[in-house]
Amino acid sequence: MLKNIEELFSVRETVSFIDVRSPSEFNKGHIPGAYNIPLFSDQLRALVGTIYVQEGKEKAIHVAMKHVAPHFTGLVDQAKEIYQKNNKTSVVYCARGGMRSGSVSWLFNLFQLPVIQLARGYKGYRNWVLAQFLQKRALNLLCGKTGSGKTAFLHQLAREHQQIIDLEALAKHKGSVFGGYKDQQATQQQFENDLAWQWAQLDSVKLTWIEDESRKIGSVIIPEAVWAQMKEASTYLLSTSLENRVKHILREYGNLDKSFLLNALEKIESHLGSERYQKIKKLGVNEMKEAIKILLSYYDKKYEHGLKNKQAILLVNFKYF
């Protein structure tokens, strides 16, 4: 049975997505929450692709079947385990909804596992992703200087049942040069996939809070259509004291590896200027409070310049602190 992503998104809680592409394809980007049960390894995919180009489709299929057939039982066992865990119909997809997903769907049917094949595969899903960003949302843009607790404020709003989008969580990066330590940065495709999945679930009538960010968060870029809506959003400025901001930054970054902090500092040496850079380096991680204050003087100047053309509503007395 073939179904498109539009149909399946509406029943997403009742299905398990199974990506049968190779591990490297999956790691580059996949449907949120999907399981990877690769039909081909990365090496076999490369081999079959080469044979397809050099010797034709029939020979490529013959080589693929020779390598894959002994592993059919293992593929079915993995699918059964997922089904027993979730009790949900499997939605199988490959790159374009072709031979790989078709073969695995046939195999699962043979073993009486409930299965749907995703029409147009991952390529169809990616087209759907990019289309979601054209959907208008009523955004409130949350601004605030570094350390003002914008992300914590967002999640307080979520606990109060307001709609939010946490771009930094989706990017797996906190935005600054110091922000990529804890998690591996999301790929561009995965960032877009996860963002679209959340964007599509938003009630377009209700307000959605989103944090003010640079267009680039670490190595990922906010999609142009979303960025355009952020620039048009109502702006709210979260304000707190310098001391509170320093405390917040210490909680967030105070336990990070010393060599990581120093390496990150080197990356912005030219922006800080020699005098400020040397002062921070001399203080080192043993006098973090003073070092943070000097850093904030740099980030504040940069942020105030960006905020200059925005008319923001002031938010104060945030209870997080």
Q: Is the predicted pLDDT of residue 96 greater than 80, yes or no? A: yes
Give the model's pLDDT for residue 261: 66
Q: Is the predicted pLDDT of residue 275 greater than 80, yes or no? A: no
Q: Is the predicted pLDDT of residue 181 greater than 80, yes or no? A: no
Least Cα distance to 249 among 148, 143, 142, 144 occurs for: 148
Alpha-carbon distance of 311 to 317, in angstroms, equals 20
Domain boundaries, the chain: 2-130, 136-315
When comparing pLDDT for 291 and 172, which is higher? 172
Question: How much is the average pLDDT of 241-263?
Answer: 75
Question: How much is the average pLDDT of 78-102?
Answer: 96
Give the model's pLDDT for residue 305: 67
Give the model's pLDDT for residue 183: 58
- CATH number of this structure's domain 136-315: 3.40.50
Alpha-carbon distance of 147 to 151, in angstroms, equals 10
Question: How much is the average pLDDT of 19-36?
Answer: 98
Give the model's pLDDT for residue 178: 62
94 is catalytic: yes
Of the residues 94, 170, 186, 292, only one is catalytic, namely 94
Q: Is the predicted pLDDT of residue 177 greater than 60, yes or no? A: no
Q: Is the whole model's pTM more than 0.85, yes or no?
A: yes
Q: Is the predicted pLDDT of residue 274 greater than 90, yes or no? A: no
Each residue's pLDDT tens digit, 108-149: 999 999 999 999 999 999 999 999 999 999 999 999 888 888
Q: Is the predicted pLDDT of residue 58 greater than 70, yes or no? A: yes
Q: Is the predicted pLDDT of residue 298 greater than 50, yes or no? A: yes
- Please, which residues have CB within 8 angstroms of residue 148's CB and are 6 or more apart in sequence? 238, 239, 240, 244, 245, 248, 318
Give the model's pLDDT for residue 30: 98
Each residue's pLDDT tens digit, 189-204: 999 999 999 999 999 9
Give the model's pLDDT for residue 321: 44
Q: Give first-to-last CA distance, the chain, whole Å.
A: 54
Question: How much is the average pLDDT of 51-73?
Answer: 90
Least confident residue range of 30-44, 82-96, 169-183, 271-285? 271-285
Fold of 2-130: Oxidized Rhodanese; domain 1 (3.40.250)
- On whether the CB atoms of residues 293 and 146 are closer than 8 A, the answer is no
The encoded tokens of residue 254 equal 């105070």
Give the model's pLDDT for residue 240: 86
The encoded tokens of residue 105 equal 């769907």
Residue 292 banded pLDDT, cuts 50, 70, 90: confident
Give the model's pLDDT for residue 47: 92
